[in-house]
Structure 1
Amino acid sequence: MLEAKVTAYINKKQLINHNDTILVGVSGGPDSLALLAYLNSIKKSYNLTLVVAHVDHMFRGEESFEEYLFVEKICEEWGIPFEGSRIDVPKYIKDTGKNPQQASRDCRYAFYRDIMEKCAAQKLALAHHKDDQAESVLMNLIRGTSGMARIGIPLKRLFGGGWIIRPFLAVTREDILEYCTEMNLNPRIDPSNEKDIYTRNRFRKYILPMIKKENSKALDHIQRFSEDLEQDEGFLMVLAEKEYNSLELTEKDGILKVPISSLGKVPKPLQRRVIHLILNYLYQVKPYVFSYVHIECIQSLLTESNPSTSVQLPSGLQVTKAYDQLLFHFGRLPSVTLSKELRIPGKTALANGAVIETVLLDPLSEKWEHASRYTCILPLSEEDLPLRVRNKRDGDRYQPKGFTGHKKLKKLFLEHKIPVHERESWPIIVNKNDQIVWIPGLQKINLEKTPMPAIMIKYVE
């Protein structure tokens, strides 16, 4: 029964080609041992080369080492090359802070990748089955997972220069146990599979039996849902990638800038996937705790009335709304300390990479320029010297041109829609009494030619 189902599934889904070299992940449990036995039974008809990979995660001391030796002995009896490794996963957990399941997976798959390269395998065969699939789909839905992760366990995916394949997604746990009995296999049983501290175990022991009782075909329906969803997601992601490529993203100094107007126009179903693509680009390894809640938080920033707000994502990533842009960045947005006396005449280099140039003028000078937001001309008075550049301070006020009174600097920033993080590093030119005489980029100050001496200040970014 199992052989017929799996062989038909392999041929339908084109999982195995003739002359393939297949690395088989074998723990020694019923599922993986049955998979090895099945592949060994079709080895001649497909002209396959099989290699077994086994990892002892060293959680259970001598017990797990005995499983290592058991798999090694099976391979010796069946004439299959064996590649084993004992990895100190408890130490890896201590060093990385990852949970046991994620840490085990990281170490195991790293070993698989190395052995695939070593033996030039085209495929890595793993023994996940329909029950595993149902558990994964339900766990992900309840966890709030979004996007492609909702499909659960993919039938095949690229890995280590080849493919991971899962032929046993055609059969159930019950089919596998029956096959083990028929083939007189004596698999090892991991006692941790019975512990209720693991989410998957609780789904396996309590939730899946109820679902099967409601509908005996439930596992078939969940598997079909997974395969259909994978196709649908693949199609939608193609459309999302086109939208992503048209966003005109800019990246500088570790900050990815996304135009709100462009992202806001993307239809919601594609918008969620475009955000996924952005996060995939930024995260080298996407956090395990990532869910649809984080996508919704980012989407909410597109319509948030507050022009300067942010959301915190896992692993230190923040998304900050800065008027018409979303800024994706790890940690706090950078700010630069500005505190220098200006050279008059001369050039003063600032910590933000800009340069302030000052030129002395007299009524006959030919260097007078038309004032702009980046060039100003001021009367030169000994009472004002020295001039300095500094950062803004709480309560700063300045005197607008043509006004007798003073105005809050904060209001000027708001009028020009300067993002909060940029205000912190904005250059402010002050006199020796710490009175603001010019705000480069925001204030236009001009002095017509007069008999009195003057100074021209240019801010060059």
Structure 2
Amino acid sequence: MIVHRLNEKVWPFIERHQLIRSHSKVLVAVSGGADSLLLLHYMAFLSEKLALKLHVVTVDHQLRGEESRRDALFVQSLCAKLQIPCTIKRVNVKDRMRQEQESTQIAARKLRYEIWQEMMQKDGYHYLALGHHGDDQLETMLMRLTHFGRPSSFQGIPVKRPFSSGSIIRPLLCLSKDEIYQFCHELEIVPREDPSNLSIDYERNFFRHQILPSIKERNQVAHHLVQSLTERLQEDEEFLQNEAYKLVEASVHKSTKPRSVTLHIPSFQEYAIALQRRAFHLILNYLYTTAPNVITVQHEDDFFSLLHQTKSNAKLHFPSGLEVRKHYESVTFAFRDDDKLALSSKKIQVPGVTELDNGAKIKTEIVTDCIDEASHQMLIPFIEGELSIRGRKAGDRMAIRGLNGHQKLKDLFINEKIPTFKRDNWPLLVDENDQILWVIGLRKADISTGQQTEQYILLTYQE
């Protein structure tokens, strides 16, 4: 039986990648083309073997008028013969193109995925089955090779990936386009062809009709080799990404208010360059709510040039107002508008917890013993007056513990190599007379904690 020969090719691929479990609910996306129709017939066969509950969805993009409508009705009619429920969804691609300034293919793709996601969440499907085949994989890899310079982008179409309430699976990636058409012919499946698939105005079609035939002429199993390559690249990339996450956790300091990232250059550069590159992109993913499409390899190159500059201070401008500043041995990523947010003065609750504008907290408690302080703590004699946190002012000075006399706050920041853009918003603990008691994280004032004091205030700074 023909479908059994198809299963002999596809089932080992499914088993190797653990694509589907028995007794699952599967949403099958069918357009009416050869690949999705073969997928539909194969999933119908597989449903008996694995006790699957299938539901087909076909999307009418309304780009070809009556012909698009007939395509959707054709799929619905075929599903009725196979006794598989089918849902037709209609979307307005042209409206989306106008509103979002997107190309036809991108707008159509996004609308399809929105429908699939909604249906999976609403009805609790475990899998969304798509009909991508080996030639699609080959096209994708060639397109990415001509557009991207990052190794992590050169991975191709995943066989399986998380999506909505379950996973997207692509069981036919092991077949070539020619094999799909041959099986359709043998199974007497007559696909409906979209004329737009012949136009080389679309980039994918250019690769499909102009480039792939020459490659397949030289090597008929090129799609198998490329599929193996993408699987190995994905496995390698998963490992490298996990290691890059460890790098970020160990060497990068994140702040939420304002949203920024600071890294210590010598510590960062102890890691392999492959991990540094991936950590750079993890940092950008953290900072950008929506990653801009204009981040390129050039931005990556500029960043690494910045790390190796001999200048103590240098700055890069990234999209959406993100600035990357080098200051001595540190680099800070911060949005330009966030730098202008002044640290507001705030009274400290004693005892209690006070949240600061930068997202940190100061916990205060009253103690009776003159205990040793940790670096993130300060112990002062109990006073009746108020304690506050504020930013710096012109002419600020303080009596630094361990030094004779006072020092200008400006000089302290310079000596400690604090970047200029951080100085105005550095949190300072002051008393009711506005005297600086603690430049938090840097220096503490010389305050007597004599034994005659019965109570103390212990302040703990929590980032």
Give the TM interval when normalised to the shorter protein: 0.7 to 0.9
Question: Pick from 162, 165, 168: which aligns with 2:166?
Answer: 162
Partner of 2:251: 247
1:325 maps onto 2:322 in alignment: no
Offset of 1:29 from its aligned partner?
Answer: 1.4
State the 1:132 CA deviation: 0.7
1:6 is aligned to 10
* 1:178-189 matched pairs, under 5 angstroms: 178-189=182-193
Q: Distance in 1 between matches of 2:178 and 2:261?
A: 50
Match of 1:266 among 271, 281, 288: 271
Q: Deviations over 1:264-299 (max 9, x none)?
A: 222111111222322333344444555444333322
Q: Secondary structure at the match of 2:32?
A: coil
Name the residue aligned to 1:21. 25
Structure-to-structure mapping, 1:11-160, within 5 angstroms: 11-160=15-164
1:69 is displaced (CA, Å) by 2.2
Q: Aligned pairs, how many?
A: 390
In structure 2, distance between residues paired with 1:200 and 1:316? 34
Deviations 1:434-459 (A, max 9, x none): xxxxxx989xxxxxxxxxxxxxxxxx
Query: How many Å separate the matches in 2 of 1:23 and 1:370?
Result: 68
Deviation at 1:3, TM superposition (A): 3.1
The equivalent residue for 1:334 is: 339
Q: Displacement of 1:413 after TM fit?
A: 8.5
Alpha-carbon separation, structure 2, partners of 1:158 and 1:336: 39
Q: 1:146 to 1:18 in 2, by over 3 A?
A: same
The 1:357–1:294 alpha-carbon spacing in structure 2 relative to 1, beyond 3 Å, is closer
Secondary structure of 1:249's counterpart equals: strand
1:318: Cα distance to partner?
4.1
The AA in structure 1 aligned to 2:307 is: L
* Deviates further, 89-98 or 33-42: 89-98
Distance 2:68 2:325 in 1: 48
Distance across 2 between alignment mates of 1:358 and 1:233: 53
- Deviation of residue 23 (structure 1)? 0.6
Q: What is the rounded CA distance, in whole Å, between the counterparts of 2:335 and 2:107 in structure 1?
A: 24
Report deviation, 1:331.
Answer: 5.0
Q: Give TM-score, length-normalised by structure 1.
A: 0.73
Q: Is the 8 A contact 2:323 2:336 kept in 1?
A: yes
The equivalent of 2:213 in structure 1 is 209
Instruction: Please state if 1:354 is matched with 2:359.
Output: no
Find 1:222's aligned residue among 220, 226, 229: 226
Alignment partner of 1:196 is 2:200 = yes
Residues 181 and 44 of structure 1: CA distance in aligned 2, closer, same or farther (over 3 Å): same
5+ residue gaps, structure 2, are: 344-384, 428-437, 443-460
**Other structure's SS at 2:8 match:** helix
Q: 3-state SS of the aligned residue for 1:265?
A: coil
What's the CA shift string for 1:101-128, capped at 9, x where partnerless? 3332222112111111222211111111
Residues 336, 312 of structure 1: CA spacing in aligned structure 2 closer, same or farther, 3 A cutoff? closer
Task: Please give the alpha-carbon distance, in whole angstroms, between the structure 2 residues aligned to 1:307 and 1:331.
Answer: 20
What is the CA-CA distance between 1:317 and the residue it aligns to? 4.2
Return the alpha-carbon distance in structure 1 between the equivalents of residues 294 and 62 of structure 2: 26
Q: Which amino acid is 1:179 matched to?
A: F
Q: CA RMSD in A?
A: 4.0
Amino acid at match of 1:42: L
> 1:36-88: per-residue Cα shift (whole Å, max 9, x none)?
11111222111111111222233333332332222222222222112232122
Letter in 1 for 2:223: L
Q: Distance in 1 between matches of 2:393 and 2:230?
A: 61
Change (3 A) 1:273 1:336: closer
Provide the rounded CA distance (Å) in 1 between the counterparts of 2:326 and 2:62: 47
The whole-number CA distance in structure 2 between the counterparts of 1:60 and 1:282 is 41
Q: Contact between 2:199 and 2:205, CA under 8 Å: does it hold in 1?
A: yes
Report the Cα distance in structure 2 between the residues aligned to 1:23 and 1:250, rounded to whole angstroms.
40
Distance (whole Å) between structure 2 residues aligned to residue 328 and residue 113 of structure 1: 34
CA–CA separation in structure 2 for the residues paired with 1:69 and 1:316: 49
Per-residue displacement from partner, 1:217-243 (whole Å, max 9, x unpaired)?
322111111111111112222222222
Q: Which amino acid aligns with 1:222?
A: V
SS class of match (1:42): helix
How big is the shift at 1:175? 0.7
Distance verdict in 2 for CA 1:299–1:109, change over 3 Å: same
Q: 1:289 to 1:75 in 2, by over 3 A?
A: farther
Q: Per-residue deviation at 1:316? A: 5.2
Tell me the secondary structure at the aligned position of residue 154 of structure 1.
Answer: coil
Residue 83 of structure 1 contacts residue 115 of structure 1 at CA under 8 Å; is this kept in 2? no
Give the Cα separation in 2 of the matches to 1:154 and 1:273.
20
Q: Which amino acid aligns with 1:419?
A: P
**Aligned mates of 2:207, 2:395 — CA distance in 1:** 72
Q: Secondary structure at the match of 1:103?
A: helix
Amino acid at match of 1:273: R
